[in-house]
Structure 1
């Protein structure tokens, strides 16, 4: 016990651990808030699709020696708009549109990587996350953009709740449902890109889905689901960062694994009628 505490104290002496805790917690909050709207609208797979798009944008940024975050954010947002457009104009269901864009993005990412000389360590760290490479710029962008995401959700909470609960009714009463859907896609895109440093493009969608579906097992209302989801997500990030340091495990995979454990426990409680 004492050795574990000493290792945690030691971990807190490193700047990269502090950065990971800060950025990871911010991403966890954003994912929890957005996750509920996406899951209930049956659009949770958009996170997975945009994560695949971010793989291509990061490969492009590394090829151009540009900032991956600054390149990825606008391109991922444009891709989310394209998914919505395909859904509206091409009469494709959400999952089909997501499949088209994500598969094309993966192919483009592989081609770009091939042109650049193959998969290098930098690209690998973006695929599966690496807390060792979180820069000061990443921290600043995460602080600013996470604040934007959280403030926007609070400001438009009633509208977002309305289109999530019953989009047709929301349209009838005069809400701009199309605008709200685009707003959700923008916020999701930003959150996806911010999260790739901590858990990577291959795992970031799990951080959106797991806390929400876990909270839905034990919660009794909309706001309580958001609160429980946020609590689970932030706790898993903090515990995952420390466990990965102590046990020398990959941070992103550890965080997602802890989320999976929480889901199994809450699902078990629900089945036993204890929650």
Structure 2
């Protein structure tokens, strides 16, 4: 069976189509907000919040909550709000706050799962959560619809408030003097990132989510300079890498999350070379 026949065979299963839809939508939303986070030097907020989501997942598991998202989502959103507020504190800068939250939540989650094991294979469960499931067939239909609805809201927010996001990204002081509610937009961006992270946990794992935010933005910045061009290019790169990563995962049986990130890294190297050749290195 060649690769075309193998893909045709797998595409007959709804779960594979669900995974592709969710992967593309998550990649698109991550890339749109990733440009803003990278430019604001706050890109590792995704890393901190993904570890919070891991800790919340551990608590949901030991409490035997059927729909773990009901606990993980609000906890991650609350931490996004607290992280933003703490990061603005003169005593605890943004990067330090993220580091504290990231390491603390990761250690707490792993500790809880070991003290109160929910299965005989704790290490396997932790590895699957951190790096994504080995199988692409882990997405439920309800998750697909939730992802579609939330993705539409994220894209609508970005399109409708594009100019405000641009102002907040490059010059918060000017935006605030112009009457823009800077704190409100920063808060909303953090909340949206929290939602994307929770949705992406099953697909790429909590440790690899930041790659979907950082790599497409950095890749696009190697080629273009304007905010609009970088954002569009980042979205295109992110979607293509997500599709290629999932297709390679289907064909080779490799972990979905790691494969997508590997393709993102390769895309960055290609864009880096293009940037050097084009005189932007």
TM-score range, shorter chain: over 0.9
- CA distance in 1 between counterparts of 2:221 and 2:53 reads 28
Deviation at 1:121, TM superposition (A): 4.5
Deviation at 1:70, TM superposition (A): 2.1
Residue in structure 1 matched with residue 102 of structure 2 by the alignment: 102
- CA distance in 1 between counterparts of 2:195 and 2:146 reads 10
Which shifted more, 52-61 or 132-141?
132-141
Which shifted more, 231-240 or 218-227?
218-227
TM-score (norm 2): 0.93
- 2:42 is the counterpart of 1:39: no
Over residues 38-85 of structure 1, what are the superposed CA-to-partner deviations in whole Å (9 max), with x where a residue is unaligned? 000000011111111111011111112222222111111111111112
8 Å contact 1:58–1:123 — kept in the other structure? no
- CA distance in 2 between counterparts of 1:154 and 1:65 reads 39
8 Å contact 2:88–2:94 — kept in the other structure? no
- CA distance in 1 between counterparts of 2:109 and 2:189 reads 25
- CA distance in 2 between counterparts of 1:197 and 1:88 reads 31
- CA distance in 2 between counterparts of 1:266 and 1:6 reads 32
- 2:264 is the counterpart of 1:265: no
Which residues of structure 1 form unaligned runs of 5+? none
- CA distance in 2 between counterparts of 1:110 and 1:125 reads 13
- CA distance in 2 between counterparts of 1:91 and 1:250 reads 41
Residue in structure 1 matched with residue 77 of structure 2 by the alignment: 77
Number of corresponding residues: 274
The two structures, once aligned, show a CA RMSD in angstroms of 1.6
Residue in structure 1 matched with residue 186 of structure 2 by the alignment: 181
- 2:129 is the counterpart of 1:126: yes
TM-score (norm 1): 0.95
- CA distance in 1 between counterparts of 2:245 and 2:279 reads 26
Over residues 211-233 of structure 1, what are the superposed CA-to-partner deviations in whole Å (9 max), with x where a residue is unaligned? 11001111242111111111111
Which residues of structure 2 form unaligned runs of 5+? none
**1:86-101 equivalent positions in 2, closer than 5 A:** 86-89=86-89, 91-101=91-101
